[in-house]
Amino acid sequence: MLRGYNAAGAGMIAQQRYQDTLSNNMSNALTPGYKSDRSTFRAFPEMLIRAYDQQQLPGKNNSKIPNNYRVGAINTGVYMQEDTPYFNQGDLRDTGIATDLALVNGDMPDENGFTFYTVANEDGEARYTRNGNFTVDSEGFLTTTEGHYVLDNENNRIQTGTEQFEVTENGQVISPFDNTLLGIAYHPNANDLVKEGENLFRNEGEAVQNARENAEVNFSVYQGQLERSNVDPQQVMTEMMRSYRLFEINQQVVKTYDKSMDMAANQIGRIN
């Protein structure tokens, strides 16, 4: 009986966590360059059930020997293992704003390879983003809207001095203060990147490469455009409804077990 409680309860927890992931995707549907999360579910290890009893031997002594046999396996529930970003190119949107830049992937030498802008976090460490919704701070440096410095090909800050600057298709920044190349990073397996908040990724896998130093990596930068989020709102809404129904089903199973336990404790076991 308690195994049923555990399995249904685990199902409710998994669907609740899945709802949190879907809600986060939906809330970022309009965030430029956002990469949606995909959840993976796994079953807890199965338990092997065996029955133990005694077998009586033929004869006058009525001797018995221990006996056990396999009944079968039972699953102990499901859990949400992890969220992984889904890396694919989002559609482009024209903005006409000079500080908006869209990074578009071309041919990649690796199946899971992906390109990113290189920025610096509060500690000066390199982080990676697809959000090209940039701005120019009071000191004339190109930054993200959260205040992270955009880095060039040599990992230096880019100073444009004004919002009226030009960016070529190969990522060259031309301004009265600077003439440099945007720092474009390439990761051969983008699944090694971990979300860190504020649309930034940090690397926890193999080394990130300079995209310009790999002749097989092709990309383009378009000024006055932004890459849209790759969230599909209709699909997310459908998944949210499906997840809610599965939560309700597990909830009903818990209620059914609860009624059965109540009957066993208060009615069947009652002494008249």
For residue 176, what pLDDT is reported?
Answer: 87
- Could you report the per-residue pLDDT of 225-255, keeping only the tens digit for each? 999 999 999 999 999 999 999 999 999 988 8
Residues 75 and 94 in one domain: no
**Backbone φ, ψ for residue 224 (5° rounding):** 80, 15
Say if residue 181's pLDDT is above 90: yes
- Residue among 25, 34, 230 at smallest CA distance from 131: 34
Residues 159 and 189 in one domain: yes
In this structure, which amino acid lies at residue 99?
T
For residue 56, what pLDDT is reported?
Answer: 64
pTM of the full structure: 0.80
Residues 127 and 143 in one domain: yes
Residues 162 and 66 in one domain: no
Residues 145 and 211 in one domain: yes
- Could you report the per-residue pLDDT of 103-157, keeping only the tens digit for each? 999 988 899 999 999 999 999 999 999 999 999 999 999 999 999 999 999 999 9
Residues 49 and 140 in one domain: no
Residues 49 and 115 in one domain: no
Q: Please count the other Cβ atoms lying within 10 Å of the Cβ belonging to residue 226.
A: 24
- Could you report the per-residue pLDDT of 57-112, keeping only the tens digit for each? 665 666 666 677 676 666 677 888 888 899 999 999 999 999 999 999 998 889 99
Residues 102 and 171 in one domain: yes
Residues 78 and 117 in one domain: no
pLDDT band at 186 (very low <50, low <70, confident <90, very high): very high
Tell me how many domains the chain contains: 2
For residue 48, what pLDDT is reported?
Answer: 63
Residues 127 and 113 in one domain: yes
Residues 165 and 259 in one domain: no
Domain that holds residue 100: 88-227
For the residues of 179-227, what is the DSSP string, one character each?
Answer: EEEB-EEEESBGGGEEEEETTEEEE-SSPPEEGGG-TT--EEEEETEEE
For residue 8, what pLDDT is reported?
Answer: 86
Residues 167 and 154 in one domain: yes
Say if residue 1's pLDDT is above 80: no
